[in-house]
């Protein structure tokens, strides 16, 4: 299934039905009073979160959503029927914004959370409401109100406890495949991961936490370079960021420079990410024979006060220690 996490849709709530102008026609009552009924209310546009979906794909192909209008009022004080609302289902974690003002309308962060994104118009009053002692036969009624109409932007932000970040080929997909049951595509070329991968890490005491592999971060990601601009939004909800840095002998770049490149992109995208807890994992320890890159990164993390974990997803070295640490940090985040 194609992963879609950003769509723009147009919604139109139902118009209210107009009130009725009518007069009683009863036997032996030649001049009956007004009995025009009210119009029905227009249907609302409701957006509802469900755990059954994990992408906004369906909304990519249908951009227009309309609710039913209210029925018009009728004689004999009969009210028009209210219009049926329209429910739009979206994945849990969907943020809804007004496309013109960028105002956040709702953040649907749990199953069955819902919001009225566009209100239906009120039905007009029939002429029966306007009779007075001096105006006993009003020949007018109210029209129904127009339903709200607007463009909306829907952004899906994955609900994960731990966000894995780092340059392409840093080992994010391999790690998530080792610590969870997720089976992402893994290869030795950049941008193997084209969509965020989610994995559930199960612990021995029946607890668990969710890890998200955020793909495609490179220098310039905040401006749209690589794939990172599409997926940076997914790091905002995590409890902790785990920055993966390749410390193997296969690379000749400075691991500290690799680390700082990605950190700059995070800050340029959202300065608030500076306040999020972060740890560093030096990956591919099994092929870091001379330990030059390992020691360089380890010393840097010590100076910066960052927790550092040298690991090898291939041999499992350091994995259990890292998982226990992440579990503890997730619990601490939930208590805040």
pLDDT of 267 > 90? The answer is: no
19-53 per-position pLDDT tens digit: 999 998 777 666 678 999 999 999 999 999 998 88
pLDDT of 92 > 70? The answer is: yes
Query: Which CATH number does 6-156 carry?
Result: 2.70.210.12
User: CA-CA distance, 65 to 264, in Å (whole number)?
Assistant: 40
Give 16's pLDDT tier (boundaries 50, 70, 90).
very high
152-208 per-position pLDDT tens digit: 999 988 778 898 988 888 888 889 889 987 565 544 544 444 466 778 888 887 788
Please report, for the chain, the start and end positions of each structural domain, with discontinuous segments joined by +. Answer: 6-156, 162-335
* pLDDT (0 to 100) of residue 124: 97
Token pair belonging to 77 = 């004080």
Superfamily of 162-335 according to CATH: P-loop containing nucleotide triphosphate hydrolases (3.40.50.300)
pLDDT of 99 > 90? The answer is: yes
* pLDDT (0 to 100) of residue 182: 57
**Parallel/antiparallel/unpaired status of strands 240-246 and 208-213:** unpaired
Mean pLDDT for 311-331 is 94
Q: Among residues of the chain, what percentage have pLDDT more than 90?
A: 54
Around 157, how many Cα atoms within 13 Å sit in the side-chain half-sphere?
A: 17
CB 83 within 8 A of CB 67: yes
More confident residue, 145 or 159: 145
Cα distances (Å, whole numbers) of residue 11 to 39, 153, 166, 167, 217: 22, 11, 38, 39, 34
* pLDDT (0 to 100) of residue 230: 57
User: CA-CA distance, 287 to 41, in Å (whole number)?
Assistant: 69
Name which of 215, 219, 279, 281 is nearest 247 in CA terms: 281
Give 307's pLDDT tier (boundaries 50, 70, 90).
very high
Name which of 132, 143, 138, 134 is nearest 22 in CA terms: 138
* pLDDT (0 to 100) of residue 25: 79
* pLDDT (0 to 100) of residue 226: 44
Give 225's pLDDT tier (boundaries 50, 70, 90).
very low
Cα distances (Å, whole numbers) of residue 36 to 28, 120, 134, 293: 20, 22, 18, 84
* pLDDT (0 to 100) of residue 36: 93
pLDDT of 325 > 90? The answer is: yes
Q: Among residues of the chain, what percentage have pLDDT more than 70?
A: 87
């Amino acid at each position: 299934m194609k992963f879609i996490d950003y769509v723009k849709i147009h919604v139109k709530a139902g118009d209210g039905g107009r009130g009725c102008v009518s007069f009683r026609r009863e036997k032996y009552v030649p001049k009956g009073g007004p009995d025009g009924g009210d119009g029905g209310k227009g249907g609302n546009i409701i957006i509802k979160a469900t755990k059954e979906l994990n992408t906004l794909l369906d909304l990519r192909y249908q951009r227009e959503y309309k609710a039913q209008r209210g029925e018009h009022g009728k004689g004999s004080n009969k009210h028009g029927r209210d219009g049926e609302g329209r429910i739009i289902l979206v994945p849990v974690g969907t943020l809804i914004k007004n496309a013109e003002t960028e105002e956040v309308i709702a953040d649907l962060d749990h199953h069955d959370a819902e919001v009225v994104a566009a209100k239906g118009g009120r039905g007009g009053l029939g002429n029966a409401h306007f009779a007075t002692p001096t105006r006993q036969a009003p020949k007018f009624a109210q029209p129904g109100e127009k339903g709200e109409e607007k463009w909306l932007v829907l952004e899906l932000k994955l609900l994960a406890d731990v966000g894995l970040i780092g340059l392409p080929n840093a080992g994010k997909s391999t790690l998530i495949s080792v610590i969870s049951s997720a089976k992402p595509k893994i290869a030795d070329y950049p941008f193997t991961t084209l969509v965020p991968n989610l994995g559930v890490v199960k612990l021995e005491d029946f607890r668990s936490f969710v890890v998200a592999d955020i793909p495609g971060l490179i220098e310039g990601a905040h401006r749209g370079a690589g794939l990172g601009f599409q997926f940076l939004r997914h790091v905002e909800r995590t409890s902790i960021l785990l920055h993966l840095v390749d410390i193997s002998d296969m690379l000749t770049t400075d691991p500290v420079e690799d680390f700082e490149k990605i950190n700059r992109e995070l800050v340029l995208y959202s300065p608030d990410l500076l306040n999020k807890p972060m740890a560093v994992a030096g990956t591919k320890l099994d092929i870091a024979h001379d330990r030059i890159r390992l020691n360089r990164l380890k010393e840097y993390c010590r100076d910066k006060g960052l927790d550092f974990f040298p690991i090898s997803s291939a041999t499992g070295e350091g994995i259990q220690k890292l998982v226990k640490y992440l579990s503890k940090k997730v619990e601490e985040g939930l208590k805040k």
